[in-house]
């Protein structure tokens, strides 16, 4: 009797589940999976939006690998990611350690350091564009005050434009700081007390206790940082449009230009799938290497 009554209830629960989940499932199919597979097909086509797609095989991929601007954009992005991500992790960890103190008003400072991370990217880009202005920007005024007669032209200099974006990228260290702060508060205090009894100094405590204990958070910030760095777009689009002389032409910005300025949708789709392959490969590699240095408490 019990089985006979429970079966219709289970069936009704399944129907209710699919009814309530249907808006999300429909959105996933129409706005995520649909464009995803469409872009995969378009990567083998020539399409300018105005006419019908024309199948051309792997010609888009051959063209990409022979495109010097493609390699320039990839090297710019790799340079940015290779420097900004480690610096961002170090700054986030440093801020988290400072803000993990039991001091009066510490909540205010935590909020203050986190606020830049939730500021709109366009507003941040315009703000830093003013900071990096060669003649009237606050940064060069400060450098002149310190005795530098010829401060960098930053966004107008092919050498300094990428360091400028790296400096600006550190502005968003608040997100990583928040994750590190949560991880630091989960470190068992008994480990520090035992270290104090053994006469361990400050550096050794952080190196042998803090870093291994928060290594999952470091790994998470590393993976997300690399993914985010390879997708940098808005800052370069607002501030430099890839200049000067392609020095700040990042990968996604070049993809955008191919798709929406040159109307080479097939070419841009192939470029997008190469970006996916790069990010997937880097994430997979980090996952493999993480087994050697990431410590999980349950293991």
Does residue 211 lie within any of the structural domains? yes
Residue 189, pLDDT > 90, answer: no
Does residue 48 lie within any of the structural domains? no
Q: Could you give the CA distance from residue 137 to residue 134 in angstroms, rounded to a whole number?
A: 6
Q: Are residues 149 and 27 in the same domain?
A: no
Q: Percentage of the chain with pLDDT > 90?
A: 79
Confidence of residue 174 (pLDDT cuts 50, 70, 90): very high
Q: Are residues 36 and 68 in the same domain?
A: no
Q: What is the pTM of this model?
A: 0.90
**Quick one: three-class SS letters along 26-64?**
HHHHHHHHHHHHHHHHHCCEECCCCCCCEECCCHHHHHH
Does residue 50 lie within any of the structural domains? no
Does residue 52 lie within any of the structural domains? no
Does residue 178 lie within any of the structural domains? yes
Q: Are residues 35 and 67 in the same domain?
A: no
Q: Which long-range contacts (CB under 8 A, 24 or more apart) does 50-59 make?
A: 50/263, 53/266, 56/266
- CATH number of the domain to which 229 belongs: 1.10.3720.10
- Please report the DSSP string for 97-150 in residue order: HHTTS--TTHHHHHHHHHGGGGS-HHHHHHHHHHHT-TTT-HHHHHHHHTT-SS
Q: State the average pLDDT for the chain.
A: 92
Q: Are residues 38 and 63 in the same domain?
A: no
Closest CA to 182 of 150, 155, 147, 221: 221
Q: Are residues 288 and 144 in the same domain?
A: yes
Does residue 275 lie within any of the structural domains? yes
Residue 228, pLDDT > 90, answer: yes
- Per-residue pLDDT tens for 34-76? 999 999 999 999 999 989 999 999 999 999 999 999 999 999 9
Q: Are residues 94 and 6 in the same domain?
A: no
pLDDT at 7: 58
Domain that holds residue 25: 2-42
Q: How many domains does the chain have?
A: 2
Q: Are residues 121 and 250 in the same domain?
A: yes
- Per-residue pLDDT tens for 4-17? 445 577 788 888 88
- Per-residue pLDDT tens for 263-272? 999 999 999 9
């Amino acid at each position: 009797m019990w089985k006979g009554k429970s079966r219709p209830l289970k069936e009704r629960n399944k129907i209710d589940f699919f009814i309530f989940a249907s808006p999300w499932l429909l959105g996933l199919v129409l706005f995520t999976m649909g464009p995803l597979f469409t872009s995969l097909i378009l990567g083998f086509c020539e399409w300018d939006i105005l006419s019908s797609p024309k199948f051309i095989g792997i010609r888009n991929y051959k063209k990409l690998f022979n495109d010097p601007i493609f390699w320039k954009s990839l090297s710019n992005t790799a340079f940015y990611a290779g420097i900004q991500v480690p610096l961002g992790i170090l700054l986030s960890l440093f801020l988290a350690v400072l803000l993990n103190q039991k001091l009066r008003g510490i909540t205010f400072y935590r909020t203050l350091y986190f606020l830049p991370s939730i500021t709109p990217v366009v507003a941040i880009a315009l703000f830093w564009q003013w900071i990096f202005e060669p003649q009237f920007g606050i940064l060069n005024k400060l450098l002149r005050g310190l005795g530098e007669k010829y401060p960098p032209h930053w966004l107008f200099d092919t050498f300094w434009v990428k360091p400028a974006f790296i400096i600006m990228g550190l502005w968003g260290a608040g997100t990583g700081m928040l994750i590190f702060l949560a991880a630091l508060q989960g470190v068992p205090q008994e480990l520090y007390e035992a270290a104090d009894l053994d006469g361990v100094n400050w550096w050794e405590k952080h190196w042998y206790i803090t870093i291994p204990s928060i290594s999952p958070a470091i790994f998470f910030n590393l993976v997300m940082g690399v993914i985010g760095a390879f997708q940098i777009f808005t800052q370069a689009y607002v501030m430099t449009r890839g200049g000067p002389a392609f020095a700040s032409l990042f990968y996604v910005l070049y993809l955008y230009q191919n798709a929406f300025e040159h109307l080479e949708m097939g070419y841009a789709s192939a470029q997008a799938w190469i970006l996916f392959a790069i990010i997937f490969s880097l994430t997979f590699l980090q996952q493999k290497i993480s087994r050697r240095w990431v410590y999980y408490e349950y293991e």
